[in-house]
Amino acid sequence: MIVITAPTSTIGRRLVADLLDRGAPLRLVVRDPGRLEPEVRERVEIVEGSHGDAAVIDRACAGAEAVFWLAPGDGAEPGPEAAYVDFSRPACAAFVRHGVPRVVGVSALGRGTPMAEHAGLVTASLAMDDLIAATGVAYRAVVCPSFMHNLLHQAGAIREQGLFLLMADPDLKVPTVAAQDIAATAARLLLDGTWTGAGEVACPGPEDLSPTDMARIISEVLGTEVGYRQIPGAALKERLTGFGTTDAMAQAMVDMFEAKNRGLDNAAARTPESATGTTFRQWCTEVLKPAVTG
Do the beta carbons of residue 148 and residue 178 sit within 8 Å? Answer: yes
Can you tell me the mean pLDDT for 79-92?
Answer: 98
Q: Read off the pLDDT band of 275 (50, 70, 90).
A: confident
Model pLDDT, residue 187: 97
Q: pLDDT tens across 90-123, in order?
A: 999 999 999 999 999 999 999 999 999 999 999 9
pTM of the model: 0.95
Q: What are 116-119's contacts with CB under 8 Å, separation 24+? A: 116/259, 116/264, 118/255, 118/259, 119/255, 119/256, 119/258, 119/259, 119/260, 119/264
Domains and CATH numbers, the chain: 2-148+177-203+265-276 (3.40.50.720)
Q: pLDDT tens across 126-151, in order?
A: 999 999 999 999 999 999 999 999 99
Do the beta carbons of residue 75 and residue 92 sit within 8 Å? Answer: no
Do the beta carbons of residue 96 and residue 244 sit within 8 Å? Answer: no
DSSP state of 266: G
pLDDT score of 286 more than 80: yes
Model pLDDT, residue 270: 79
For β-strands 2-5 and 26-30, DSSP reports them as: parallel
Q: Report H helices in the chain.
A: 10-21, 38-41, 54-61, 80, 87-98, 121-133, 155-161, 179-191, 211-222, 233-242, 247-261, 280-283, 289-293
Can you tell me the mean pLDDT for 158-187?
Answer: 97
Model pLDDT, residue 247: 97
* Separation between Cα atoms, residue 148 and residue 176, nearest integer Å: 6
Over the range 137-170, which residues count as b (16 or more CB within 10 Å of their CB) and which as e? bbbbbbbbbbbbbebbebbebbeeeeebbbbbbe
Model pLDDT, residue 272: 76
Which residues on neighbouring strands pair with residue 105, listed in sequence order?
Answer: 69, 141
Single out the residue of 5, 271, 260, 52 nearest to residue 150, CA to CA: 260
Q: pLDDT tens across 35-81, in order?
A: 999 999 999 999 999 999 999 999 999 999 999 999 999 999 999 99
